Structure 1
């Protein structure tokens, strides 16, 4: 059975198809580099001895033509490499971001795929790739030096071997320390970013001196490693450059001795010096390019692992717009490296569109996990989440996304305007943005922002409060007329006006026959629902019509003379028959914090 190729293999294969052309052009380029050497050799050995002006003119014309061709060919191979780099960037950046997002959503640490793509791209568009294309020609140039005289060839060959050994030694001495320095510098930078983000906590609590001392210690270690690495590299490069100058002196000195001995001509002496310089140049460039080559090689391995087992996605059949019929079939989910499943064999069905279902349960019961599974952010370990009969993971995410509205418990607004965030950064439809904002009750609030819908928001937009973020997030969830809406603790940061707007939005969704799943324990929210799902330790403790689930709780509340409108947390129905004296204890046990 033939092994199917991943998208990464396809992209690298497409780039590799340029290799024969690049090798052929590099052959011509390196041969044409001998133009000035041959020109000088002919000037010394023919023109000056014969005094022929015609020979001088023709040699000059031919040499200038060869140099012009060299310029065109050099530009051609640089353009091929530059476009290959752009192709890699265009084809891999989006899949890498998606893969990193999927890994993050599954609970793992995201891969540094974007930086790996950058390392690969930089290698192709830099002189490093040219250095490796030109390196084999060092052998050809050394052969020319040997043809001029074996003694000169021996000196040049020893010099080339010494430079190669220096490159390898430099890599061996600095490779481990380079990785350590990069890791420590990355950790120090990440710590600095976290400290800056936590400024509103650090400053009032007087933590700044201790925090700065901590960062300075981390940064100092990284800087010390970097300094040692820089000094070692500088030492090796300095000795290498000095050695190259010494080689030129030896070649000229030995050549002069051979001229005096009548073993070679003066032109051959000059030619040997130039060709030796040409032979050593690619090797010298390899020393400078080696680190970039190592980074590109590591990036390629990382990307191969990232895309391993991921075949190029075939084109999927486009499914019709869902009506919102939800079916959850024996769904279980376990966090990465977890010992116990978060959800176990969860099953329920919302058989008709327009149904509003509340999910309640104690902290850690798996409510937020269920929400992520319902919208396809996470994939269950077993079982299926179906929308109109189709598994949500059988849909193309770009096709399903517009039909789903999702408000997570922690709302993220991304760098951009309010309008762009509400419109999910798609084609901006001003009418649809305003319609979603009005439905979420956030239109007037947005108009009072400094630039209205053009106000920039994002992780560091301090002018946007948590409550405002949540209401903008609700508008984003409602944007585009979704058929299925999932709201995870949608009123955790809302004030009275926000609560009212949320209730109005739920009523409008029901009126529009949208299927809604909402995580909330607020009594006023529960009154607006049709069904209630009670989760307890990751399993379904109760599922049914709202009144059937809440009636035992309401009886217990009445016995304790607590006004129903003040009940903010709901006891699972299975606990309701207990005595009224224990109601408060159950409420405390089942109060929900952020999962």
Structure 2
């Protein structure tokens, strides 16, 4: 997709050929719309006057042929608008999904997958009947002009009626704009809140939170309903009034036309034709009033897409491919903080610095909220530091293309989410991989036998609507995914949190195997058994490195004079601490413990 496509307007410019085609087809459709009035006029002026049946047959054949052509044009126009909507999806859908995932990394929940829903709204508007109605509207003056040609007085009445109808359309837009905007915004927020509640179904059910959650949702839904009610009152009042006025306009045209016929100013045929043309002239205006909610929803979706699409050029920048890394990791004065609204949240990481060599295993410990998970997310490139650098073999991780870096990284996050797909696809990261490599990763994670016992083995579909896995099973399959492809760097965040004895034994064996293969391993753990084979240990508190060095030396420095209680305090994430006099200077990245 071209980088110029950073707004809905630019997107529509890219669809100019389709829009021009729709405009041309609409021109011919509206020309053919004159078939019925002309056919009626010829009935009065030729057939009724002459009584010629051959003329009747000829005119009828011509009119039927014109209607068939018009039907074909309607079909072609609908196909063009449908193809245009598909073209927009092809140009933007993939990048919006990528951007939604990127926003998800930043906890930008306000926009998460909303961009895809907004794209669907835009696509449905363009493929539906609303767009042709907009193209039909400019032809209203043509029909009014033809009525004026038949009789100026009749034309003035028709023009006055059209002006009144257009005034209703403008009033509908002005009066319903704010309520509809509030409704659309509130509806989006209520939907996101409901999705969040469904994700926390277990906590809601187990802790009796259902009534409280429902009350919270009802508060948000009340805003949706009240704004919807206000917009409906406006739309309903204007809609019903406009329909009544439209009928009154038709009556006025009929009355004036009858008066002119009585006065011999126009023929009866012109009188009937004027009524047909007036009905056609008011149809697009009436349709615009009836479908205005769809138009406003389209404009709201377009505004949100415009805001989101500003990030597309930045996201599309790619880096040059770098050689396969050996696994040396250097973290240099890394500071990380979230952006909240227009400002910055307090720093989570505060000048973290350390380095490990290829093939080394690092254990990271510290109390909850000390920044351990944030640190490893910066290391694997999920989050970018606010300042400082994370380097892999000397290259800033931010310089790596995520697809390129990902093939060398195995990452098991603290909260393991698997895709609604087969176990095979989950382990292989949706690659067309050799089955031997998939099985090897599963065996290394100690989950191969468990998979074979499932209904369809590696082809078993898992997810919310398929085979449901336990927390430990998800974690072990997530570990197999992390081990897939022989990564150069393996990062595990609480990998044994949900594992039983068998699973933890398999995890230790996998870590030993990785060390033997020269893989750089980083493990966050609160249970000390999994850290028995690490080469270095890093202790964090309040986003800073307090101790870093050989595990035995770090643990010795953490142990209080009485001994015995230190290790549980450190690895349990509850009350772990270092006496104030032992704390390192944060600017130096913590106290380095040497043997």
Give the TM-score normalised by structure 2.
Answer: 0.87
CA positional deviation for 1:215: 5.2
8 A contact 1:449–1:455 mirrored in 2: yes
Partner residue of 2:330? 327
8 A contact 2:36–2:63 mirrored in 1: yes
CA positional deviation for 1:126: 0.9
1:528 aligns with 2:533: yes
CA deviation vs aligned residue, 1:155-201 (integer Å, no higher than 9, x gap): 21122122222222223333333344445555555555555555555
Q: How do 1:281-296 and structure 2 match up within 5 A?
A: 281-296=283-298
Say if 1:222 and 1:300 are closer, same or farther in 2 by CA, change over 3 A.
closer
Q: 1:248 aligns with which of 247, 250, 262?
A: 250
Partner residue of 2:593? none
After superposition, the CA RMSD in angstroms is 3.2
Say if 1:344 and 1:157 are closer, same or farther in 2 by CA, change over 3 A.
same
Partner residue of 1:50? 50
CA positional deviation for 1:35: 1.3
Looking at structure 2, the residues matched to 318 and 210 of structure 1 have their Cα atoms a distance apart, in angstroms, of 51
CA positional deviation for 1:340: 2.8
8 A contact 2:570–2:576 mirrored in 1: no
Q: How do 1:413-424 and structure 2 match up within 5 A?
A: 413-424=418-429
Looking at structure 2, the residues matched to 408 and 306 of structure 1 have their Cα atoms a distance apart, in angstroms, of 27
8 A contact 2:99–2:312 mirrored in 1: no
Partner residue of 1:589? none
Partner residue of 1:97? 97
Q: How do 1:457-496 and structure 2 match up within 5 A?
A: 457-458=462-463, 463-496=468-501
Q: Secondary structure at the match of 1:136?
A: helix
1:107 aligns with 2:107: yes
Q: 1:342 aligns with which of 338, 348, 358?
A: 348
Say if 1:89 and 1:382 are closer, same or farther in 2 by CA, change over 3 A.
same
Partner residue of 1:381? 386
Q: How do 1:14-413 and structure 2 match up within 5 A?
A: 14-111=14-111, 112-185=114-187, 198=200, 200-203=202-205, 208=210, 219=221, 222-223=224-225, 225-308=227-310, 310-311=312-313, 313=316, 316-337=319-340, 338-352=344-358, 354-413=359-418
Q: Which moved more, 1:132-141 or 1:32-41?
A: 32-41
- The aligned length equals 573
CA deviation vs aligned residue, 1:366-391 (integer Å, no higher than 9, x gap): 11111111111111112222323333
Q: Which moved more, 1:458-467 or 1:439-448?
A: 458-467
Looking at structure 2, the residues matched to 341 and 205 of structure 1 have their Cα atoms a distance apart, in angstroms, of 33
8 A contact 1:550–1:573 mirrored in 2: no
CA positional deviation for 1:51: 3.4
1:437 aligns with 2:437: no
Looking at structure 2, the residues matched to 543 and 171 of structure 1 have their Cα atoms a distance apart, in angstroms, of 65
Q: Secondary structure at the match of 1:311?
A: helix
Partner residue of 1:505? 510
Q: Secondary structure at the match of 1:518?
A: strand
CA positional deviation for 1:482: 1.8
8 A contact 1:420–1:428 mirrored in 2: no
Say if 1:291 and 1:217 are closer, same or farther in 2 by CA, change over 3 A.
closer
CA positional deviation for 1:487: 0.7
CA positional deviation for 1:141: 1.0
CA positional deviation for 1:82: 0.8
Unaligned runs of 5+ in 2: 583-595
Say if 1:34 and 1:223 are closer, same or farther in 2 by CA, change over 3 A.
same
8 A contact 2:409–2:490 mirrored in 1: yes
Q: Which moved more, 1:114-123 or 1:50-59?
A: 50-59
Q: Which moved more, 1:180-189 or 1:426-435?
A: 180-189
Q: Which moved more, 1:83-92 or 1:134-143?
A: 83-92
8 A contact 2:176–2:234 mirrored in 1: yes
CA positional deviation for 1:34: 0.7
8 A contact 2:118–2:301 mirrored in 1: yes
CA positional deviation for 1:431: 2.8
8 A contact 2:412–2:478 mirrored in 1: yes
CA positional deviation for 1:143: 0.8
CA positional deviation for 1:314: 5.3
Looking at structure 1, the residues matched to 298 and 223 of structure 2 have their Cα atoms a distance apart, in angstroms, of 26
Looking at structure 2, the residues matched to 311 and 150 of structure 1 have their Cα atoms a distance apart, in angstroms, of 57
Say if 1:328 and 1:263 are closer, same or farther in 2 by CA, change over 3 A.
same
CA deviation vs aligned residue, 1:201-253 (integer Å, no higher than 9, x gap): 55565555565566566656644553454344333322222222232222222
Q: Which moved more, 1:210-219 or 1:21-30?
A: 210-219
CA deviation vs aligned residue, 1:287-332 (integer Å, no higher than 9, x gap): 1232222222222222121122542735653334333232323322
